[in-house]
């Protein structure tokens, strides 16, 4: 009986469909990650300023994303914007917006932390050398900060990929949704299909996230200062 369920995976194009769903989620995650990296570095640099008036709104933005669950953010953007502003948003776009905002917030904090943790004499020496502010960031601060922020950045990426599982709740047709469709189709024929489909999705996510977190850990050890 256990064997009958697993057969579904190899029947027709089921396995391919699951993979397609997985790539769909990964694409959303990847675009959001790229946006987050670009925006996160810029905002992270802005946040190193000592000006309290500039710091406050960014701090508030970060804390809002830290305190309120991502699923709630997805719901809020998904339902509030179309109802109140008459803008049609597809679930994919909502996902992209929320993930980019979240990633940017978290990444800006990572970048800020990395720049701030650099020894003070780095800034002072570069000023003494007569570098402009742009040159200072470009040649002195960012290359060093990159080393410190890449391992936590990879961790954040892993977290973002894991969180894409939530997208099924706002109706993005990603791997879980496809899995549910397959389960519905075969459920009466093979009762154990749910076990195998969810099992394989479990395995998919593990296959993507495990190498990433492994790399992050290795880099952390290698670059430990």
Partner 1 sequence: MDWHYIIEVLPFYKTALWLTIKLAAIGIFFATMVGFICSTIQYFKVKILSKIVQVYLEIARNTPLLIQLFFLYFGLPKVGVMLSGEMCAIIGLTFLGGSYMAETFRAGMEAVSKSQVESGKALGLSSFQLVRYVIFPQAFSYSVPAYGANCIFLIKETSVFSGIAILELTNTTKNLMGIYYKTNEALFMLVVGYLMILLPFSLFLMWLERRVRYAEFGR
Residues that bind partner 1 (CB under 8 A): 2, 5, 66-72, 75-76, 79-80, 83-84, 158, 162-166, 168-169, 176, 183, 191-199, 201-202, 205-206, 209-210, 213
Written as six digits, the tokens of 124 are: 């002072």
For the bound state, the minimum distance from the C-beta of residue 177 to partner 1, rounded and expressed in Å, comes to 12
How far apart CA 141 and CA 117 sit, in angstroms, is 10
CA angle 198, 204, 73 (to 5 degrees): 80
Choose between 66 and 218: whose C-beta lies nearer to partner 1. Answer: 66
For the bound state, the minimum distance from the C-beta of residue 127 to partner 1, rounded and expressed in Å, comes to 30
Choose between 108 and 163: whose C-beta lies nearer to partner 1. Answer: 163
Written as six digits, the tokens of 192 are: 């154990």
Choose between 93 and 146: whose C-beta lies nearer to partner 1. Answer: 93
Choose between 29 and 41: whose C-beta lies nearer to partner 1. Answer: 29
Residue 188, classed as helix, strand or coil, is coil
How far apart CA 165 and CA 160 sit, in angstroms, is 9
For the bound state, the minimum distance from the C-beta of residue 136 to partner 1, rounded and expressed in Å, comes to 30
Q: 């706002």: which residue's tokens? A: 170
At residue 130, φ and ψ (nearest 5 deg) are 85, 25
């Amino acid at each position: 009986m256990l064997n009958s369920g697993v057969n579904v995976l190899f029947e027709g194009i089921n396995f391919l469909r699951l993979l397609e769903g997985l790539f769909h989620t990964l694409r959303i995650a990847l675009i959001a990650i790229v946006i987050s990296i670009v925006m996160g570095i810029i905002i992270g640099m802005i946040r190193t300023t000592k000006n309290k008036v500039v710091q406050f709104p960014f701090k508030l933005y970060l804390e809002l994303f830290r305190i309120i669950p991502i699923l709630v953010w997805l719901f809020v953007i998904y339902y509030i914007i179309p109802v109140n502003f008459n803008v049609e948003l597809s679930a994919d776009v909502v996902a992209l917006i929320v993930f980019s905002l979240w990633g940017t917030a978290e990444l800006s904090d990572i970048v800020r932390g990395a720049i701030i943790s650099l020894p003070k004499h780095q800034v002072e020496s570069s000023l003494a050398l007569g570098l402009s502010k742009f040159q200072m960031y470009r040649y002195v601060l960012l290359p060093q900060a990159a080393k410190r922020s890449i391992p936590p950045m990879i961790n954040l990426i892993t977290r973002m990929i894991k969180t894409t599982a939530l997208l099924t709740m706002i109706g993005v047709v990603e791997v879980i949704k496809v899995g549910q469709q397959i389960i519905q189709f075969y459920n009466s024929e093979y009762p154990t299909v749910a076990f195998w489909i969810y099992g394989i999705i479990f395995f998919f996510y593990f296959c993507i996230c495990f190498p990433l977190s492994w790399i992050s850990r290795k880099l952390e050890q290698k670059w430990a200062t």
